[in-house]
Structure 1
Amino acid sequence: MKFARALFRHENNQLNLDWPTRLKICIGIARGLAFLHEESRLKIVHRDIKATNVLLDGNLNPKISDFGLARLDEEEKSHISTRVAGTIGYMAPEYALWGYLTDKADVYSFGVVALEIISGKNSNNYMPS
C-alpha cells in the first residue's frame, strides 16, 4: 500500500495511524536510508524521498521504493555535481539550486517526510494564510 494514501487519507484507504505507528514508520524510513547510505556495498543516494515513494507492508513496515532517480555515490568524492532531478518541496536547497548532491540531500527530504508524518498534511499543499 502506498504510504501517502494512508497518511493523507486519499480515497477510502483510511488507516488509523496513531503516534506509535507514525514513530515506527519514521524509524523504518530512517533505517532504510541508513542502509542505502552506510551499510550497502554500494552507497546509494535516492534523490526522491517523499511519502509517495514509501510503501507499507501488511505490518505497516515502510519500504523505500522508486529508485529511478537514484545515483551511486563514490566514496572518494565529497559530493556529486549532477543535473537536478527529484520533487520540488522535498529537495535540499544546495541540491535544488546548485546540483550539489550528497547523501545529506536524502536526509533533508526525510525531514520533510517526517514533518508530513507528524502533521498528517502534504507539505506541497501547504498555503500560508
Structure 2
Amino acid sequence: MPKGVPNKRYTPKFKKLVIETMQEEKLSYSETCRRFEVNSRDRIKSWERIYLEEGPEGFAVERRGRSSKGRLPKRLPKEVTEDLLAEVQRLRAEVDYLKNLQALVLEDERRQHKKRW
C-alpha cells in the first residue's frame, strides 16, 4: 500500500450484504473477494466470524486499535481498607515478636557457647 493512501473502510451494511450473499449462494472466500472487490480472504473470514457470533449488529462495533483496559477503582470499599489495615498491623506485630524471639535465641546460644570455654 503506497504511503499516504488511506485504508479502505467498509460499512456495516456492505459487510452484511457480503456475508449474506456468500452464505445464500454458497460462495468460497476467494469467489466472494473477487465478486465484491475485497482485498483479503482473511477480512471476509473475520466478517463471517463476527456475523455468526454477534449477528449483523456486530458490524457496527469499532474494532480497530487496542482495547481499553479500563481504569482501576480509585478507592477500595471501606471494609476492605479496614481489613487490610488490620492485616498490616497484625503482620507488623508478628515481625516484632519474631525479631525479639530471634534475639533471645541468639543471646541464649552465646551464653551456652561462653559456658563451654
The normalised TM-score by structure 1 is: 0.29
Q: Quick check: which has more Rg, 1 or 2?
A: 2
Q: Which has the higher strand share?
A: 1
The answer to which structure, 1 or 2, has the higher relative contact order (CA under 8 A, 6+ apart) is 1
Q: Which has the higher helix share?
A: 2
The normalised TM-score by structure 2 is: 0.31
